[in-house]
Structure 1
Amino acid sequence: MLDHKYLEGDPEAPVLLLLHGTGGAPGDLLGLGRDLSPSSALLAPAGPVSEHGAARWFRRLAEGVFDHEDVVARANQLADFVLTARKRYDLDGRRLVAVGFSNGANIAAAVALLRPDAVREAVLFAAMFPLAENTPVPDLTGTRVFASNGEHDPMAPLPSAEHLTALLRRRGVEVTTYRHGGGHLITPEAEVAAKAWLTRATMNGA
């Protein structure tokens, strides 16, 4: 099982699966999680791949060039972790939302695309398309995604982000996009929009 932190919360609130960016650690997004949903349980694993000592979720061959075979393998590893954690922490039947930034958003997108048994909702900050073009993706009707991207993000270029959202929609995902004028970051306005998205989904009975 992946190294992780777990903080219990209100069983009526969604469980947030917090996925850090490159070089991060399980505690990095705890504050973000509390801001998005103050009463939620927080499940924050550590990326299992080391890139020159920096924790990541999957290997890359160069900046912006992913090892697609490893993406698939690590997405399945993370999905299996989620299913195991559900049993360990008695989370079966509770809503779970993946929240990721950068590399964490990319692995969250990969899990949402490949393993809907583990992740049906995701908040993606600065994600890009993580898979090889020929990767089979199942029908994802019932999955919801919020995707925030910067219009001037050199690390997650907008065309790649738009390719991701287009594929999600083709596979039946309900996608809400948020664009900001900055780069590779989570803006306060994007955080507010993500929180509103979470709240709306809760009110709609997700």
Structure 2
Amino acid sequence: MIRRDAADGIVTLTLDRPDKANSLTPEMLEALIDGVAGAAEARLLILKGAGDRAFSAGADLEAAKAGLATSPLWERLSGAIAAHPGLSVAALNGTLAGGAFGMALACDIRVAVPHAWFFYPVAKLGFLPQPSDPARLAALIGPARAKLLLAAGARLDASEALSFGLIDRIVPDPVRAARDMAVGEPGHVAAIKAMIPGAVTR
């Protein structure tokens, strides 16, 4: 349920479960971790969802009830993405919710379609966010707005997410926009990224 495509130094990992809003299972998280590790030499890593409704609704409901909501797999995945030496882009084809936030927050850049929605309902569900998510979120949008999303359960549309700094651009075709960013070689991109302060890489 994770599709991998590679060409011209660009690796695209697709969450391919559109009938379930691309909700994630343990097997999908493991496949994503392996896919990110296998893209170490790529100059561009793109994460996207299948379909036009959701990037991902987060954990699969049954898997969440079985313990996935608190699994260390989420943190392993976001850590692997944050450590990717090339440029990483979350091409958000639709709604981003719950635990799926972690992989998008760990990317260097986030681009989204105009109809995307953003919410992380951990307070309502009685869970804590994954350990690195609050720091990454606060680094992007500030501590008060991070509390608005995580503790107060706010839902943002794409325009508000852009104004907050949660996403970087609103575009009709996030994958095309992401592919247009493949302009540098991995080593050069890694050197540029290392010069930019404020990144949360763990």
The normalised TM-score by structure 1 is 0.41
The normalised TM-score by structure 2 is 0.42
**Relative contact order (C-alpha < 8 Å, sep 6+): which is higher?**
2
Structure 1 or 2: more helix by fraction = 2
